[in-house]
Structure 1
Amino acid sequence: MGLLAEFRIGCDALPLVSVAEVVPEAAITLSLQYNHGRHPLFLATVTGGSKQAIERALTSAYDVQKWTHIGSAGDTHRYQAVPALSFEEQLGGQIDDLDGLEALATADAIIERIAVTADGWEQTGWFADRAAFTEFSSFWQRNADFELERLTRDGEPKSPGNGLTDRQLEAMRTAYELGYFEIPRRTSLETVARELDISASSLSERLRRAQTQLIQETVATLWPPLPE
């Protein structure tokens, strides 16, 4: 039976981290289209932030050669981007073990979700067995800041939340119970943050990422196919 893992990789050289840093109010979910060889295309779903700021950040990003706006739904926008660098070129300045990085591409694992932050990636992945997960996590522990948030066996009952992490689920539940999502709101972001003993900016980011995950699980599945 496989393993499901949720973890964070702290490495500011990862693709599109520079975009997340420039537009901190936006939540960016990334998928990679590996059928394009050593330069897999980026497919980014961005929620929050101004469209103009997002597109300026994509234009100036050192790791994006060119980008295409696929579509919009409310304050969520989807982009396809052509990378300017291979993974080896992009990470070579920070990671010495490039052979190990290339070996990860053939590991018995499927990365199902990538959330881009200002200092790295938050990921959800499936691993065939403990050995595959250990190989993956050991590489990132040696080369970056790796933090495991949750590890469960595939097939075990999941708690409600459509793929949300425990902290995201707690933030959403607390904000809901205190009336943050009501119209008009019955409480402020600062009040919810005090209840959770975190900063208002951390809560805002956590709520945005939770909302992005819920959009990806529901609305994003209805997006039109990518252009040729």
Structure 2
Amino acid sequence: MATLVEFTVDGDEFPLGALFASLPDVTIELERIVPTTESLFPYVWIRGASPAEVEAAISASAAETLTVVDDLGSRGVLYRAVWRPDVDGIVDAIVSSNVTLLSATGTANQWTFRLRADDHETVSAFRERCRRKGIHIDVTRLQPLALVDARDEDGLTAAQLEALELAYERGYFDEPRRATLEDLAAEVGITRQSLAGRLRRGHRNLLAGLFGFDRPDERLSAGRH
């Protein structure tokens, strides 16, 4: 099942983050693309700095060149980027995982990425690559793409999906059960009550996405008509 994953990393984890040392107030946005080793992230928007300021700071970044494609003034400048062949880190993890970049925005504090993967296994492989490279990613959203369309703002959180997945894998839903709430809570490192709440909210959001309800009480309202 296609999966949406959103995560953040520190501002200096992505190669162009080096620009923030000279231009701390800029915002960088990558154009949506399926990155490959031959074509990493060819188009980049930079807002909050003139082309001259960017050119002066580019020597500190991992991009070999940034060429102005279009200057829209206050709306930003579109650049074509040519990357150094030895670029690694989060870039290599994304490229090697065969995922689609939906959006990526960087500031001096952090980068926020949204990726689409063909299945949850691809997401797991990406996270494992990041761990092996020593890259800490903070996953803020992990959700089947089918639910994104139905409940874009109120879908499963990463914590809810983790709890549901763990419960399924450990046999919590089996008959008879092979794991208890206490077992699952201990593995996650939270209280039994918190784990039960995550499972309950996760179930509710899954059902809301399945039946197309935007709010938990919408089912009751719909039943009265």
TM-score, normalised to structure 2, is 0.55
Cα distance per residue 1:86-142 (max 9 Å; x no partner): 324xx4xxx9xxxxx868635352122222333663210011111111111122234
Give how far 1:62 is off.
4.1
Q: How is 1:145-184 mapped onto 2 (pairs within 5 angstroms)?
A: 145-156=136-147, 157-159=150-152
Matching of residue 116 in structure 1 with residue 106 in structure 2? yes
Unpaired runs of 5+ in structure 2? 154-225
Identical positions, percent: 21
Q: Return the alpha-carbon distance in structure 2 between the equivalents of residues 57 and 14 of structure 1.
A: 15
Q: Partner residue of 1:169?
A: none
Q: Return the alpha-carbon distance in structure 2 between the equivalents of residues 105 and 133 of structure 1.
A: 12
Matching of residue 46 in structure 1 with residue 36 in structure 2? no
Unpaired runs of 5+ in structure 1? 96-100, 161-228
Q: Return the alpha-carbon distance in structure 1 between the equivalents of residues 37 and 128 of structure 2.
A: 27
Query: Computing the radius of gyration over CA atoms, which structure comes out larger, 1 or 2?
Result: 2
Give how far 1:69 is off.
0.6
Count residues in correspondence. Answer: 148
Q: Partner residue of 2:120?
A: 130
- Structure with the largest fraction of strand: 1
Q: Partner residue of 1:194?
A: none
Change (3 A) 1:144 1:54: same
Aligned-pair Cα RMSD in Å: 3.0
Q: Return the alpha-carbon distance in structure 2 between the equivalents of residues 78 and 139 of structure 1.
A: 30
Cα distance per residue 1:164-209 (max 9 Å; x no partner): xxxxxxxxxxxxxxxxxxxxxxxxxxxxxxxxxxxxxxxxxxxxxx
Q: Return the alpha-carbon distance in structure 1 between the equivalents of residues 8 and 108 of structure 2.
A: 12
Secondary structure at the aligned position of 2:122 is classed as helix
CA contact (8 A) 1:111 1:125 kept: yes
Q: Partner residue of 2:25?
A: 25
CA contact (8 A) 1:33 1:42 kept: no
CA contact (8 A) 1:33 1:43 kept: no
Q: Return the alpha-carbon distance in structure 2 between the equivalents of residues 27 and 128 of structure 1.
A: 29
Matching of residue 83 in structure 1 with residue 83 in structure 2? yes
Cα distance per residue 1:60-102 (max 9 Å; x no partner): 23423222111122321111121233324xx4xxx9xxxxx86
Correspondent of 1:139 among 110, 116, 129: 129
TM-score, normalised to structure 1, is 0.54
